[in-house]
Amino acid sequence: MTLTPEQSAEIAEARSHSRPTLRATAEGMERHLYSAHQVLDHGLVRVIDYMGDDAAICQAARVSYGRGTRAVSNDEGLIRYLMRHWHSTPFEMCEVKLHVKLPVFVARQWIRHRTANVNEYSARYSILEREFYIPAPEHLAAQSTVNNQGRGELLQGDEAQRVLDILRDDATRAYDHYEAMLSQDGQKGLARELARMNLPANVYTQWYWKVDLHNLFHFLRLRADAHAQYEIRAYAEAICAIVRDWVPLAYAAFEDYRLGGVTLSGRAVAVLRRRLAGEAVTQESSGMSKGEWREFEALWG
């Protein structure tokens, strides 16, 4: 990860001052404030601001003035109940604002989650840095033969090196042409808003991303999943570590019911009941499609 001296100085300055406040703070989140967490080769995630904690979720659910005589165990039980029964609004009482530096092709996936406030670095007004995402060898894989959206076997030896050379050469050449086209040093050139269109999808961009906890959990459920593309999963896993420290009770419930849980269809429930009753159920007698049956057997045998 590359931080400019100005960025490092800004982070050091922000972390050098504390401010008294009457609002609720989360000790675990305070440790993350402003610090940059490295993701991929040049990416980062850092917390700019946040609101709320585990107690705020419970307070919203109870609509009370404060914790009162409730014990932590009561809060944990309530949060687990809310998560188990898919309640959303209490979790919306917590918000976080993140600064994320990420490759453009990851940003295009990320922006599909339309339940956040986003402000992205503008290449119409500023010049993008010469920074590109180049996969590490262990993440350089061929197209999967069974999943149109996924990766298959790792590329090896000369083939892996050939692909890495192409990625680096193309990215470098594109940026060289980008710089050459720009208006610089008083010379006429192409407008920034046009010159940027020549840049590859692995160039890094940055944005501020503000989201409530309910929608953040939805993002993490999809993007921290083992089936998600590695590059966006790396960001999701970094955010998971932050959220775990911010709202430990809510994150534990999320991890249990969402990341570690499964959703069963009515047909799947019926098959499990028939199996428990001793019946041998086949795909043909289950009422499931071949794809659904394959997924069912992967979980239940």
Could you tell me if residue 206 is inside a domain? yes
- Residue 287: domain span: 266-300
Q: What is the count of structural domains for the chain? A: 2
Could you tell me if residue 145 is inside a domain? no
Strand order of the β-sheet with 204-212 is 37-39, 43-51, 95-103, 204-212, 117-120
Q: Bridge partners of 65?
A: none
What pLDDT, on the 0 to 100 scale, is given for residue 71? 60
pTM above 0.85, yes or no: yes
Could you tell me if residue 163 is inside a domain? no
- Token pair belonging to 12: 């050091």
What pLDDT, on the 0 to 100 scale, is given for residue 279? 93
Looking at the fold, whether 254 and 106 belong to one and the same domain comes out as yes
What pLDDT, on the 0 to 100 scale, is given for residue 72? 57
What pLDDT, on the 0 to 100 scale, is given for residue 225? 92
What pLDDT, on the 0 to 100 scale, is given for residue 147? 66
Tens digits of residue pLDDT in 13-69: 877 778 788 788 899 999 999 999 999 999 999 999 999 999 999 999 988 655 554
Residues 6+ apart with CB under 8 A from 201: 103, 104, 105, 108
The single residue of 223, 233, 244, 273 carrying the catalytic annotation is 223
- For the chain, list residues with pLDDT below 50: 69
Looking at the fold, whether 252 and 292 belong to one and the same domain comes out as no
Looking at the fold, whether 39 and 57 belong to one and the same domain comes out as yes
223 catalytic per annotation: yes
What pLDDT, on the 0 to 100 scale, is given for residue 187? 74
